Structure formats: C-alpha cells, structure tokens
Amino acid sequence: MPVSLLEDSSLLGVNVGASTTHAVLFDVVDGQYRFIALGQAPSTVHAPINDISLGVHQAISELQKVTGNIFIDDSKQLIKPAQLDGSGIDAFVATMSAGPTLRAVVVGLLPDVSIESAHRLAHTAYLQVVETIGLNDHRRPYEQIDAILSAQPDVIILTGGTDGGASRSILKIIESVGLACFLMPKIKRPTILFAGNQSLIESVKESLQNLSPSLRFSPNIRPSLATEDLAPAARELGRIFSDVRKRQMSGVDQLDAWTGERLLPSAYSKGRIIRFLSQINGSGTGILAVDLDQTAAIIAAGFNGKLSLSVYPQFGLGENLPGLLNYTKIENIMHWLHLDVAPTVVRDYLYQRSLYPDTIPVTKEDHAIVQAISREALSVALKQAISKFPPEANVTNNGMTPFFEPILVGGGICSESPTPGQTLLLLLDALQPVGITSIILDQNNLLPLLGAAAESNNLLPVHVLESGAFMSLGTIISVISSASYGTRVLRANLTYEDGSNSEVEVKFGEIEILPLGIGQTARLSLQTFSRSTIGKDLGRNSTLQVVGGVIGVVIDARGRPLSLPEDPAHRREMFNSWLSKVEG
C-alpha cells in the first residue's frame, strides 16, 4: 500500500441545514483523499431547542459510531489536531444554510449600475432584498428613513460611485442610512457592508462606525461603469451571514470558533467549487449546480472560471413557500401533476408545508404535489438566474437552457423523490437541459464542504470529485424538433464494450432509455430525422462515447422548450407514460 505524503490528511466537515445536519469525514486512502463516512441528525435550529450545537454534536456522534473514531472529547470540544491514539481530526470546516432569510436593504446610485450589481450581490447569500434606495428615488429623505425603519433589515448593502468618481450623492444617502440606524434600538441595528467608491471609506467610517454592530468594507463591486466584480464583496457577505447568525442563534459561535472563524454559507461554498470546476472543465460548456430545499433554491453556474451564483429564499420549500405564488400561478403548478388533484388541495398544501416544513410526504398524492411544486420552483428560479448569466453563457432569446456538462444536483431533490427515476424526470422537466449532458446527484451534500475545504486544501476537492462519491443518473440526450407528436425524430444505437448493442427509434414526445450501468462506457451512434437536432457540433449522423448511470442513457425527445397538453387528462396520461419509462 502506498504511503501518503499528505500532511494534515483527515478533515471533518459539518453542514447545518434547515432540517438535517451532516457530519462528513474525509481522509487519505492509498495516497488519495476520499469521502469516508457520513453521520447525520435532525437540525436543532428551531424551537423548542433553538441551539444548533445539539444537532451538530448528534451528527458527529453518529459519525463516530460509523467510523469508530472519536472527534469530540468529554467536554464536548473538538479534538484537534489528531492524536497519537487515533482520536481527533487534523482539519475542520463548516457550512450553514439553516435559519430565517436575512432581510436586506440595498443602497446605491443608478438602478442599472451599482443598484443592479448590489442586487446580484445580495443573491449570492440567503438574503431577500426588501427595500432599495437610489439616486432616482423620488421619496423625500424622511420617507426613505421611514422605509428603512419599516424594512427592519438585518443587512444594509451600500454601493455606488466608481472608484474616484461620484461622492456627494452617496454621502447624502449615507446620512439617511445613519439616521435610520440611530433611530433603531441598538439590539436591532443592521450590519452594514460598504462596497462602493473606495475614496469614501473614511467618511463612511466616521458616519456609521458607531451606528452598526458591524461595519464592513470590501472592494468596489463597480470600480468602473463597464466592470463588475462581486467576488470580494460576496466573500465579505458570507462572513456577515455568519456574524448575523451568531446574534440570532445559539451554538453558531462555537461552530465558527471550531473553523477558525471561517464558517461559510452553504450556497457561497457551493459556488466556489463550481467556479473551480469550470476553470478545469475542458468541454467548453458551462457547469451547472442546482439545489432546492427548505431554505432556498440555489442556481450556481460556472463558465470558464466565471461564476453566476443566485440564491432564492423565496423559492425554498419551507416557510417561504406560499410566496412562490407571487412569481407563478397555481395553474402552472397544476400542469406538473400526474394525478388528479384539485387546485384547492395544492394551495392548502403550500400553506401547510410552510407551517410544518419538516413534514415528510407519505401518500402518492403528497409526493405528486411536492414534486409538482419543486418542478415549478426550480424552473422559475432557473429562468431568473439565466437572465443574470455572463456573456460566456451564450444565452439565446428562445427560452432554452444554455449548454451545461455536467449538471450537479443537491438538496431535498435528492431525498424527497421516492426513486431515482422520479428524481430524473423532475430534473428534466424543471431544467430542460439541451444537447448532451450528464446529471449527477450529490446525495451526501458534499459540494458545500468541498468548497469550504478548498480554501486550505486544494487537493482534497479534486481527489473526492474524481473518486465516485457522487451518483450519476446517466447521460441525457435532448432532442430539439419542430416535428408533430408521434413523428420519428431519432434512431440511436448503443454498442457496448463486449460488442453487443441496443437500438431504439424515438418518436417526438417520447422518452426512451438505453441500459448502461454506472461507470460503464459505450459508443452511441445517433441519426436524426424530421429537421431535428441534438446540440452544437453534432450533425445529422454522429457517434460519441457515453458513460452510464443509475438510469442509463436517456433520450428525451419531448422538445425544447417543453410543451404540455392543455387537457388535464391527456397531460396526466403523458406524464404517467414518461414515469413508466424512467422507472423501468
């Protein structure tokens, strides 16, 4: 067995979610970092406990049972570094998504410059912008102050002015912000992040230093009119998230201390690993990661090292769930149902789920409603995120998703669907990928922890990502066609390594599966008909290598964008036929 030359090899990661806390052990095996084991416990962020540390200790205790190692001493303190007797851990990281959505007020100058950038910055964390104040705001100063007081913000994001540019207008608005903070009770004053004209830092300190529990600074998010740089401010906003959580919840301070004050929002950490993957991705396409759980819908897309991260608490499946109807209609959710369920039942479920977000769907009807809601929430979130993608994404105006390879999926999507087939169909419906891509499930919620670990250990994420710690559902072939329903659009022939093959002819409106096991490779030959296409760089006849998964090679010939029948009975019949295909 090779001897590892890696120092500080073992790493314990904890992710505190809204419903579940995960404790994950990584260590070196045969000279490579590997995902070793997982312990999990219900999160204890909510009443009656209101202390995340209990859930953290329970999750680590479960991990200790699985591995036989001891990581916590009798005084409930982390043993670090690892000891000669095998106890302890060399490194520790933690991420967090649990807790109420933070309320944010955005202050800037121009709506399509600094304010727009500030909104994008807010969407990199678990924030909801509840008030915006800018140069074109026609409200009088006292009305702006009243608006800030009514918003009850946890965070105020101050932007505006290019470096060395406008100052007088920003200082005037800062006066209103300072007066609003002065009028608030000290215990409720917000944290303030200044990410504007750097020449104003001393003036901002003088005006606001004593009016906020924490005044923080970052480089200008709009150093020039043509330049936007959110990365440093997003990192600072991640620390603000942790600081606010310390004031809101018991146990966060201990967890942050264990990390060396590097506790990060789960979404931010996930974005970091997606940016890294996009840098080393040689396919020329983007990489997409999606996550949907009680807290938020997260869309992280990487394009050649550039990250677009969008966190949407308003689309989470928890307490904010009724707010989904502010962005879509109940009829759109009904379109995704494969069972005959009344609209009033779906609406009631939205409100019941918001009151009891830990509710586990039990009946077939409950599962159908949750999956329909998830489809719509993820679809709406992706559409909003696409509008913020950088030029490298090559977004078109036809409403289709850009090319991505691979698509990584985490959160409740992995756990709430009863079978991998139902998970796959949910993702195909909500994301509607184009071209050829693979869908990979992060069923152990490793991505945020890998992103946190990357800050101090560049090798660990690379080794774990290459180790098979994730579950591949398979390779997806998406057919775009203007053909009529039932018209032949594709012939596919899969040649296996042993020389045998499997062939299928696919009609428009159908999903077909070619069996190919996890990790197996095969040669896929495709021939399109009826003015149908698959994706860029592929002609009418093409051959490529594909990798299998839990489902196999999936051919989705339902068209892009997906168009569903208006007749409910016909629509349910089609859904059930697609379900039978992916369920095998």
User: pLDDT digit string (tens) for 489-505?
Assistant: 999 999 999 999 999 99
Assigned domain for 499 exists = no
The answer on 170 and 68 residing in a single domain is: no
DSSP letters spanning 142-170: HHHHHHHHHH--SEEEE--S-TTS--HHH
pLDDT digits (tens, 9 = 90+) for 25-34: 999 988 889 9
The answer on 158 and 118 residing in a single domain is: yes
Domain at 74, CATH number: 3.10.20
Class of residue 2 by CB neighbours under 10 A (exposed 0-12, middle 13-18, buried 19+): exposed
The answer on 111 and 90 residing in a single domain is: no
Question: Does position 218 have pLDDT exceeding 70, yes or no?
Answer: yes
Assigned domain for 512 exists = no
Sheet architecture: strand order including 435-441: 306-312, 297-303, 286-292, 404-411, 435-441, 471-478, 552-556, 511-514
The answer on 207 and 73 residing in a single domain is: no
**Taking residues 182-205, what's their average pLDDT?**
93
The answer on 133 and 85 residing in a single domain is: no
* Number of domains the chain contains: 2
Assigned domain for 21 exists = yes
Q: What is the pLDDT of residue 4?
A: 38
Last residue of a domain, one of 248, 280, 309: 248
* Average pLDDT value for the chain: 90
- Give the confidence band of 3 by pLDDT, cuts at 50, 70, 90: very low
Sorted by sequence, the CB contacts under 8 Å of residue 31 that are 6+ apart come out as 2, 3, 4, 5, 6
Asked if residues 95 and 23 have their Cβ atoms less than 8 Å apart, the reply is: no
The answer on 241 and 109 residing in a single domain is: yes
The answer on 60 and 128 residing in a single domain is: no
pLDDT digits (tens, 9 = 90+) for 39-59: 999 999 887 888 999 999 999
The answer on 201 and 116 residing in a single domain is: yes
Last residue of a domain, one of 192, 213, 248: 248
Q: Which domain holds residue 217?
A: 102-248
CA 464, 272, 376 angle in degrees (round to 5)? 95
Q: What is the pLDDT of residue 468?
A: 82
Question: Does position 414 have pLDDT exceeding 90, yes or no?
Answer: no
Instruction: Output Rg (C-alpha) for the chain, integer angstroms.
Output: 25
Output 514 or 168, whichever has higher pLDDT.
514
Last residue of a domain, one of 220, 248, 276: 248
Which of 413, 198, 405, 202 is CA-nearest to residue 297? 413
Assigned domain for 490 exists = no
Distance CA 37, CA 343 (A): 43
Assigned domain for 114 exists = yes
The answer on 129 and 165 residing in a single domain is: yes
Question: Does position 436 have pLDDT exceeding 60, yes or no?
Answer: yes
Question: Which of 227-236, 302-311, 351-360 has the lowest average pLDDT?
Answer: 351-360
Q: What is the pTM of this model?
A: 0.91
**Taking residues 304-317, what's their average pLDDT?**
91
Assigned domain for 82 exists = yes
**Taking residues 102-123, what's their average pLDDT?**
92
Q: How far is CA 526 from CA 3, 459, 538, 539, in A?
A: 46, 38, 9, 9
Question: Does position 274 have pLDDT exceeding 90, yes or no?
Answer: yes
Question: Does position 128 have pLDDT exceeding 60, yes or no?
Answer: yes
- Give the confidence band of 397 by pLDDT, cuts at 50, 70, 90: low
The sign of the torsion formed by the CA atoms of 526, 529, 534, 539 equals positive
Assigned domain for 471 exists = no
Domain at 120, CATH number: 3.40.50.280
Question: Does position 418 have pLDDT exceeding 90, yes or no?
Answer: no
The answer on 159 and 22 residing in a single domain is: no
Assigned domain for 24 exists = yes
The answer on 141 and 49 residing in a single domain is: no
Q: What is the pLDDT of residue 5?
A: 37
The sign of the torsion formed by the CA atoms of 520, 525, 531, 534 equals positive
Residue 435 in 3-state DSSP?
strand
Q: What is the pLDDT of residue 160?
A: 84
Distance CA 490, CA 6 (A): 50
pLDDT digits (tens, 9 = 90+) for 518-574: 989 999 999 999 888 887 666 688 899 999 999 999 999 998 888 888 899 999 999
The answer on 90 and 121 residing in a single domain is: no
